[in-house]
Structure 1
Amino acid sequence: MSDPVPESTLPYPPVYKDKRFVVLSDWDGTITTQDSNDYMTDNLGYGKDKRRAGNLSVLEGRTTFRDSFREMLESIVANGWSFDACKAELLKNIKLDAGFQDFNAWCRASDIPVVIVSSGMAPNIHAMLSNVLGGDMASTIDIIANDVDIHPDGKWSIKFRHPSSGFGHDKSLAILPYKDLESPPLLFFFGDGVSDMSAARHADILFVKQKDDGENDLAAYCTREGIKHIIFRDFAQALEVVQAVVSGEKTKEEVLAAGKA
């Protein structure tokens, strides 16, 4: 008997019913060069060592991502950081993957929707995306993420999209509605870490980002679980693979067999 589908506390954007291809991507550490929540935890919260121990505990199945992530963010609040102050720190320190703007522009020109599927908090993602792309361009990208609750005393906490799920945000639920369409599109999914484990096996073509810091948790998970994936370093590399599939030059099976962008 399968587990019940967790109820969402937040709305979803409409499913793109008439597209041949759809791109869904994690935000932190995938579209960005550094995970913003890891950055806040390492520098404003309880530090990298405890954060990394929590990541590995999730990867090994000893705790849930939801609970580990909540503890990370609570450590930032406990150190007196307001949500606005955190957002300002992120705007100063978090950069986008150098190839993402060209990747997004090509997708737009090719009528391929780009949807961000994140376990982070939507207000932070909106702010960072608008800061880099500009408000008009940023508004064309759907964001499916968690949210934030600001309390009367100025403290804040994450508002999980799926609080009953161990993921907090079960990213598979952004993918599975496409599978039920009469003519489902081919789905590209991009990720890097433990928050992407729920989505990994449901993508048609899964891209896993290679991390210079050695925190290649999604790659380790996919290897352990036998999930075919493509390792990529940046969106410029990934674009070449996506273009080859969209043009018909290569098949899904061919690019997955290569295993590397």
Structure 2
Amino acid sequence: MPIALTPPPVPEAKKLGDTKAQPANKRKIICFSDFDGTIFMQDTGHVLFDNHGCGSERREKLDEQIKSGERSFRDVSEEMWGSLNVPFDDGFEVMKKNLEIDPDFEGFHRYCLAHDIPFNVISAGLKPILRRVLDTFLGEEASSRIDIVANDAHISADGSEWKPIWRHDTELGHDKAQSITEARRQAEEDLRSERGGAAVVPLIVFIGDGVSDLPAAREADVLFARRGLRLEEYCREHAIAYVPFDTFADIQREIERIRQEDERETGGRGAPARFNPRANLWRRVSSQSAVPRYVLMSPTKEDKMFLWPEAFSELKKPELEVTENLIPAVEGTLPAQQLVQPVQA
């Protein structure tokens, strides 16, 4: 049955990870961002569940079942979405009243459009909801310039049935790491064709707020974590390099710094861009069986935390500080002052 939505979703205006519009002498930057808690400060699903579904008390209990491992994210999510009994349009009214967009997101999106930087949403939520929210808060034209990689949905006309249509047959329902890997490969193919067969690697930026974003974050060359939330806490606990941000204005400043650095280094000649050498390792690792032999033989603590983060969930949190001189300058890395590193005992 077709999804009962008013108005119907706006057709996608571009292919995910489209990079051809960027100048040939610039590093091909592609942005991916989580939605709930990142672009919007609230969770769209939680707003619906609390007002038209299972209620906040039951939702919190279900969230605990995910955290404890008692039930999978997919199983719990199906119960939460199944608890809704409200037509789509009526449910959206409560979201309009309760959602708050990052104050600098619209400016950041305009910046991406001006510099031909593809910006993509990658989410464990439902695509029809996310599209309607973006249409409303940004306008349909700007919204159509954002590709959404999320689960689809069947929503009955009377609102009595809300059922996710999962992207992947996994316990998460949507494997964000797989989605980013697929987009990276497509972008590499496009760039290779554009450059006459020469191998060109895009720069993948990921923006998030929670631990559920970590699979996607591990596939990124540059990771932005919203300050004070769980993804930043996890990165600090496990010595994962990241750039903290309070609003998207912070992200814009850092991406502009990267663009200007590329312009100075390429000198308009299209010279190979510099990349974080550690990120090049993670982009080649799509599974435990694909781990490079030298990493398996003598992995560092950071290597193991990136590759098998679930094994490090109980580590004692180190004492932290931000420094400018702890990290030696290594070609291709972010500036030392922008990386949060643990203080060595």
Give the conservation status (yes or no) of the 8 Å contact 1:200–1:227: no
Cα distance in 2 between the residues matched to 1:229 and 1:60 = 27
1:47 alignment partner in structure 2? 55
Counterpart in 2 of 1:5?
A: none
**Any conservation in 2 of the 1:65–1:194 contact (CA below 8 Å)?**
no
Specify the alignment match of 2:110 in structure 1: 105
Among residues 231, 244, 257, which one is paired with 1:231 in the alignment? 244
Q: How many angstroms apart in 2 are the aligned matches of 1:87 and 1:217?
A: 27
SS of the residue 1:254 aligns to: coil
Report the counterpart of residue 339 of structure 2 in structure 1. Answer: 259
Tell me the SS of whatever aligns to 1:63. coil
Task: Spell out, residue by residue over 1:170-217, the C-alpha distance to the aligned partner (whole angstroms, 9 max, x if none).
Answer: 111221124432422111111122442321211111111235xxxx33
Partners of 1:256 and 1:171 lie apart in 2 by 28
- Match for residue 7 of structure 2? none
Give matches, 1:167-186, under 5 Å. Answer: 167-180=172-185, 181=188, 182-186=199-203
Identity %: 31
Shift in CA distance, 219/170, structure 1 to aligned 2, threshold 3 Å:
same
Q: Give the 3 Å change call, closer, same or farther, for CA 26–189 of structure 1 in structure 2.
A: same
Per-residue CA deviations over 1:68-117 (Å, capped at 9, x if unaligned) read 22222223x1xx32333212211232121110011011111111010111
Aligned-partner Cα distance in 2 for 1:90–1:82: 13
| Alignment pair present for 1:130 and 2:135 | yes
Mapping for residues 42-191 of structure 1, pairs under 5 Å: 42-59=50-67, 61-75=69-83, 77=84, 80-151=85-156, 154-180=159-185, 181=188, 182-191=199-208
Letter aligned with residue 84 of structure 1:
D
Counterpart position of 1:16: 18
Classify the secondary structure of the residue corresponding to 1:247. Answer: helix
1:210 and 2:227 are equivalent in the alignment: yes
CA deviation vs aligned residue, 1:131-153 (integer Å, no higher than 9, x gap) = 12211111111111112202476
Whether the aligned pair in 2 keeps the contact of 1:167 and 1:195 (CA below 8 Å) is: no
Letter in 2 for 1:183: V
What is the identity, as a one-letter code, of the residue corresponding to 1:205? V
1:112-136 deviation per Cα after TM superposition (whole angstroms, max 9, x unaligned): 0101111221221121111122111
TM-score, scaled relative to structure 1: 0.80
Partner Cα distance (1:208, 1:81) in 2: 34
3-state SS of the aligned residue for 1:95? Answer: coil
Query: Which residue identity does 1:67 align to in structure 2?
Result: D
Structure 1, unaligned runs of 5 or more: 1-10
Could you tell me whether the CA contact under 8 Å between 1:167 and 1:198 is conserved in 2? no
Secondary structure of the 1:30 match is: coil
Q: 1:248 aligns with which of 244, 248, 261?
A: 261
Q: What SS does the aligned partner of 2:334 have?
A: helix
2:155–2:162 Cα contact (<8 Å) kept? yes
**Stretch moving more, 93-102 or 244-253:** 244-253
Distance 1:93 1:188 in 2: 28
Shift of 1:60: 5.0
In 2, are the aligned partners of 1:107 and 1:113 still within 8 Å (CA)? yes
Q: Distance in 2 between matches of 1:199 and 1:256?
A: 23
* Change beyond 3 A, Cα 1:56–1:230: farther
Cα distance in 1 for partners of 2:59, 2:230 equals: 13
Q: What is the alpha-carbon distance in structure 1 between the residues aligned to residue 44 and residue 157 of structure 2?
A: 25
Q: Return closer, same or farther for 1:136/1:118 CA change in 2, 3 Å cut-off.
A: same
Q: Which runs of 5+ in 2 are unaligned?
A: 1-11, 23-27, 189-198, 263-273, 277-332, 341-345
Question: Aligned partners of 1:17, 1:60: CA distance in 2, in Å?
Answer: 41
Contact kept? 1:65, 1:166, Cα under 8 Å: yes
Structure 2 vs 1, CA of residues 236 and 210 (structure 1 numbering), >3 Å: closer, same or farther?
A: same
Conserved 8 A contact 2:38-2:209: yes
